[in-house]
Structure 1
């Protein structure tokens, strides 16, 4: 997350000279939007409130989305700082509805800003669409608001999320975390969830995600010094190292093992098998 900038200045001038006509001046408060550098993706309006949804990205997209929310009281023209807030994204399909993996919403260092993430598995279209529902409580009063949002495929067309059924017959969602790729050994991370039902996607801990990065356009060569992704309890993500030896298009072949070492999905890359059925893509 970018550093949220807060500019808050208060100046109180008091003069004790008998020649002064004014005994004091009111405080001067300059309040700038701490999310001014982010893109506002949606505004949900109801209950005399406007819920503003921001992101570093320019759109709601398939895969991982870190989102920031502010709730504006339209009557007082101020932002709420004491709300308890939760959310439920719902995909309305022609024959069913389902949700997606998501975090809880939490407060940030700026009291008016709440943050969390969603992992959208699919884009919307003219007939099937995502709806973002929010429930929030302020001073003991609970409010609800929901609106349709537009979720699109990534602008670069690269694959950053996998939805698959494992060898254990469990449905999983695997999402790549944002990466500022460099020609170096990069810190690399992902999130793994299982589908408990159409609305619940709890995280999966203590599996292993093996990685094998390849450049299909360069003889399918790999790279040295990669480290498979293992579960980190503090961040609740799978972390490892991704070695990128040159710029261009990379396919990160994946293989997932459970706690017993059983392969749930993915295959080794060999001369006969150029890629795994489970993979992420990057190009830089």
Structure 2
């Protein structure tokens, strides 16, 4: 079975791990940006499918997967995550790219385009967390870290959440891989959600002000309703409703996602 290749580069707080598939072609490389508290492994199936005609890359943010963590939660931010992904692009000598973010990764995608606008052609996203203050507080409360204990409360709850949100076609092996990614983040596992919630205003500003082509996939997940708020504020963007897809669709529908997304990015 094909596998992605793996490598490391240096970042602000240590090494940054990334995986990649395919080769450089006349198509722009596609950079995939993970949600919290996952890592680049969530894109493994999609990377292989999308690499049929281009280089595809997915990195681990600092503190996730096999990337070194910043010294404290205060240093963890969407800006740091975007900077770290540009470190990967530089290590691979990639001049211009398309970006594709999932949940937290959607905010990282916007920030990457803010940091180096000339190097980004198109921005694709899974969902757009455009939250009211009440919603932000509710999400922050839900994602408050669960302390470790000998009863395994955190472990049981994280597994319960994965099973509860899984789509019908997502296998137990897929769920186990998702659970592994959460566990790999250790005590930093909720830093990414905190960073994403803090990036609410810059995210909406980016949707409104960045001239880049923006494509938002809107599956049936917990951000489905708030994602639709982007329709009226986006410059040069579209929302694609996907009511039959839910969590795990990057595994289950990898080919369909590539077939849908890649031509749109190439036309950006």
With normalisation by structure 1, the TM-score equals 0.25
The structure whose residues are more often helix, as a share, is 2
**Structure whose alpha-carbon radius of gyration is higher:** 1
Structure with the bigger RCO (C-alpha within 8 Å, sep 6+) is 2
Which protein has the bigger strand share? 1
